Chain A
Amino acid sequence: MSQATRSVLLHSFVIALLVVMFFVLPEYHSGNLARILVLAVFAMGYNVLFGYTGLLSLGHALFFASGMYGLGLSIQFMQASPMLAMIIGLITAVVVSCVIGFLALRTTGVAFMIVTLMFAQAGFLTVLFFGKYTRGDEGFVIQRAQRSMFGFDLSQPFPRYFAALVLFSICLFLIAWLVHSRFGKTLVAIRENEQRARMLGYDVQRHKLVAVIISGTMSGAAGAAYALLFGYAGASFAAVQYSILPLLYVLLGGAGTTIGPLIGTVFMFYLIDISSEYTEAYMLIAGLVLILLTLFAPHGIAGLVRKKLVWLP
């Protein structure tokens, strides 16, 4: 079986499984899963940059928030339809990632981490500064009436879950295709040995910029979808926590694998969900598990599986 066929089969199976999950799981968990799918899109976007290109950003909350506020504010103040608002959200994310990519890629390594972190903090403060429109920390609710798309009421569990799944599937196949493309393979080359890639004649800087734009736009799509499906936009989504979360999802699930981000998101989401039932110090448990995983499975869960199944994309 060729690499490409295996990849299509694997990803189709994952999506089929997610379809079945909606009908099998109790409502509480299928509701969680809708949220997880959107966050997994965020993590997949992050993975393009971190897992495949080897660039560690600490500022992805900025891209998530760009999509979220692009969509939220255009519904709130322009009465835009959800479709139009989604497009505005995406355009916002593209523009922001172009600018950030252009500026931040002048640095490398630790400096890149710090610069992206600073830009994201600036974004967070901007949201607070324009509190008159964004309502700052408190955020604003997107009314149910403004959340129906193609006749589906996205505040209802069924349409909401499948809208999340459609977005997730599009992104999953996009990434699966990307990593098998020339472009994706070049990103891996840059991750592995940037100097060598340059001396083979690849325009490293241009490739990195495109990677930031793809990564930022996908993260923005997740932010926009989150606001649309769950009806809320608030400054907490622009805060540093939302820059760290996708990094954790990807590390846990397996950086540089297509399904790692989903696995990591499910794992992390339920780790917090379950441990918070038992103790208020749930982040302590989460932290402990994270330490154990990085000690014993430094390549994440999908990375462990890949040791057995080397073809895992």
Chain B
Amino acid sequence: MSIISTRGLSKHYSGLRAVNDVDFDLPEGQVRALIGPNGAGKTTFVGMLSGRIKSTSGSVSFLDTDVTELPAHKRMSMGMAYTFQITSVFANLSVHENVALAARRAIKGPAPVVNDKVMAVLEQVYLADRTGQIAGDLSYGHQRLLEIGMGLAQSPKLFILDEPTQGLSAAEVDGFIQLVKVLSENTTILLIEHNMDVVMQTAHYITVLNFGETLAEGTPEEIKSNAEVQTAYLGST
């Protein structure tokens, strides 16, 4: 069963076809990587999945419900979580409060329940020793982890990560790969990623976008040997 799917999804900016007529199905439980050269329309595409960007035409359905007309916050409360390509944390609030804000929306329980969840999440993203620190004072890598933590705290059914490893050190990237492996046991993950190591180690299946259209879909092995993908990435010789 698909957790999220699109039919004919398009976004046109006065003539520029950022995303054009994309049919996309993501089965529940899968880790899917979305790759493609810069400007291929990846962020626009997931923006339309999450509701941040309004589509020009086509439809999005999430958990068998047509959500095309739903605003972003409603989609999030249905069980989506989204992390930004450009780090977007509450810079003046503490690390704990950042995650607590995410947890409180998803958990309606009393403060101690929320607190347990926050601590568990901070443990998972290696930030448990920095709970009181102001988020804006964290290093870039830690802010990225915090951003992921804010997604986790919502216990999402579908977790959309937009270039999560951008700017992380090699060790942090390894940590991230481990994290995705653990998460994938009970969450469907859609990952926009440029780091092919991360993609090859985590993704079950890959979708390649180019010029706003699906260029290829397949397992990592299939994509690796796909001539068209190589051309799109490396240019034809």
Which A residue sits closest to B101, measured CB to CB?
A189
Do residues B73 and A193 form an inter-chain contact, with CB atoms below 8 A?
Answer: no
CB distance from A201 to the nearest CB of B (A): 3
Contacts of B90 in A (CB 8 A): 189, 192-193, 196
Do residues A201 and B106 form an inter-chain contact, with CB atoms below 8 A?
Answer: yes
CB distance from A205 to the nearest CB of B (A): 9
Do residues A195 and B88 form an inter-chain contact, with CB atoms below 8 A?
Answer: yes
Contacts of B76 in A (CB 8 A): 199-201
For residues 109 through 161 of chain B, which have their beta carbon under 8 Å from a beta carbon of chain A? 150, 154
Size category of the A interface is 10 to 19
Do residues B50 and A200 form an inter-chain contact, with CB atoms below 8 A?
Answer: no
Task: Check: B193 CB closer than 8 A to any chain A CB.
Answer: no
Q: In the complex, A203 Cα to B154 Cα: how many Å?
A: 15
Task: Check: B105 CB closer than 8 A to any chain A CB.
Answer: yes
Produce 1/0 per residue, A197-226, CB < 8 A to B: 111111110000000000000000000000
Q: In the complex, A202 Cα to B105 Cα: how many Å?
A: 7
CB distance from A35 to the nearest CB of B (A): 35
Q: In the complex, A186 Cα to B74 Cα: how many Å?
A: 16
Q: In the complex, A198 Cα to B71 Cα: how many Å?
A: 9
Q: A188-B93, A196-B89 are in contact. Are A182 and B73 (CB under 8 A)?
A: no
CB distance from A177 to the nearest CB of B (A): 14
For residues 140 through 197 of chain A, which have their beta carbon under 8 Å from a beta carbon of chain B? 182, 185-186, 188-189, 192-193, 195-197
Q: In the complex, A200 Cα to B52 Cα: how many Å?
A: 12
Contacts of A204 in B (CB 8 A): 73
Contacts of A195 in B (CB 8 A): 88
Do residues A201 and B73 form an inter-chain contact, with CB atoms below 8 A?
Answer: yes
Do residues A193 and B88 form an inter-chain contact, with CB atoms below 8 A?
Answer: yes
Which A residue sits closest to B106, measured CB to CB?
A201
CB distance from A184 to the nearest CB of B (A): 12
Main secondary structure of the interface of A (DSSP, over half): helix
Give the one of A186, A188, A189, A200 with max B CB within 10 A. Answer: A200
Produce 1/0 per residue, B10-25, CB < 8 A to A: 0000000000000000
Task: Check: B209 CB closer than 8 A to any chain A CB.
Answer: no
Contacts of B101 in A (CB 8 A): 185-186, 189, 197, 200
Contacts of A199 in B (CB 8 A): 50, 52, 72-73, 76, 82, 84, 88
Do residues B92 and A198 form an inter-chain contact, with CB atoms below 8 A?
Answer: no
Produce 1/0 per residue, A277-306, CB < 8 A to B: 000000000000000000000000000000
Q: In the complex, A198 Cα to B101 Cα: how many Å?
A: 11
Contacts of A202 in B (CB 8 A): 73, 105
Contacts of A185 in B (CB 8 A): 97, 100-101, 104
Which A residue sits closest to B103, measured CB to CB?
A200
Task: Check: B77 CB closer than 8 A to any chain A CB.
Answer: yes
Q: In the complex, A199 Cα to B76 Cα: how many Å?
A: 7
Contacts of B196 in A (CB 8 A): none
Q: A193-B91, A196-B90 are in contact. Are A201 and B105 (CB under 8 A)?
A: yes
Task: Check: B208 CB closer than 8 A to any chain A CB.
Answer: no
CB distance from B115 to the nearest CB of A (A): 13
Binding site for A on B (CB under 8 A): 50, 52, 72-74, 76-77, 82, 84, 88-93, 97, 100-102, 104-106, 150, 154
Q: Name 16 extra pairs, CB < 8 A, besides A200-B150, A201-B73.
A: A182-B104, A185-B101, A188-B93, A189-B90, A192-B90, A192-B91, A192-B92, A193-B89, A193-B90, A195-B88, A196-B90, A199-B52, A199-B76, A199-B84, A201-B77, A202-B73
Binding site for B on A (CB under 8 A): 182, 185-186, 188-189, 192-193, 195-204
Contact sample, A vs B, 7 pairs, CB 8 Å cutoff: A185-B104, A193-B88, A195-B88, A198-B73, A199-B72, A199-B84, A201-B154
